[in-house]
Structure 1
């Protein structure tokens, strides 16, 4: 089932704006109700003020009315298995759950590993801890 997310993430990666790092990344997520949202990284000259691909996909989801992330695929042009950065792990946790599946992809072969968010982000901030 993650193959369609990989295809959408790879397509999004081709639209990235990464003139400084030259490190294209794409992401595609599926909500619990089956909707798919994709995004790419968008850099600006004032690092780190750009967006990650996961952030862009999440913002598309939010702008469409929200949802809960069931799974997300991430692909980078030059990595065998591209994991989300720490900030994106927190964003995925905000809109997903510990059981959200994170598919790490290779740009040529597709999904190479699937992990649960709780395994790669065991101690993220939680809203209830802020009160």
Structure 2
């Protein structure tokens, strides 16, 4: 799937967000190894710490469906401001993905593409716990 198609799925997911407090609507789409995609949106909670992030929801759906190999993640907000996954979501992605995971962000001038390693260098991995 190309970056534009994956971003389109992230945009559609953002439209389903529940963000009555921040009014910042985020969607994500993750492509797995066989081309299947999973999407997620942010779901806020009044105490904020119980909120669900779009990337985490998409990743959770994919993992729950049995997938462990990921090709790319796209992230979009209703503002098309180039939002990238937060640190917590980056770490969650790093649990399953290597540094070369492609992360496509919906920037004002078109897709901005990063690798997970660029956004989260020297990450904590399972190897650190051995």
What interval of TM-score do these two structures reach, taking the shorter chain for normalisation? over 0.9
Do the aligned residues in 2 keep the contact of 1:9 with 1:73 (CA within 8 Å)? Answer: yes
Do the aligned residues in 2 keep the contact of 1:27 with 1:53 (CA within 8 Å)? Answer: yes
- 1:22 and 1:80 mapped to 2: Cα distance? 14
Do the aligned residues in 2 keep the contact of 1:38 with 1:57 (CA within 8 Å)? Answer: yes
Q: RMSD across aligned C-alpha pairs, in angstroms?
A: 1.4
Q: Hey, what does 2:118 align to over in structure 1?
A: 119
Q: Runs of 4 or more off by more than 4 Å in structure 1?
A: none
Give CA deviations for 1:17-54 in whole Å, capped at 9, x if unaligned.
10111100000010122110000000111112111000
Is 1:75 matched with 2:76? yes
Q: Hey, what does 2:27 align to over in structure 1?
A: 26
- 1:95 and 1:36 mapped to 2: Cα distance? 16
The alignment partner of 1:38 has SS state of strand
Q: Hey, what does 1:88 align to over in structure 2?
A: 89
The alignment partner of 2:128 has SS state of helix
| Number of equivalent positions | 129
The alignment partner of 1:91 has SS state of helix
Q: What is the TM-score of this pair, normalised by structure 1?
A: 0.92
The alignment partner of 2:95 has SS state of helix
- 1:95 and 1:129 mapped to 2: Cα distance? 15
- 2:80 and 2:49 mapped to 1: Cα distance? 20
- 1:79 and 1:10 mapped to 2: Cα distance? 9
The alignment partner of 1:88 has SS state of helix
Do the aligned residues in 1 keep the contact of 2:4 with 2:111 (CA within 8 Å)? Answer: no
Give 1:79 deviation, angstroms.
4.4
- 1:51 and 1:113 mapped to 2: Cα distance? 24
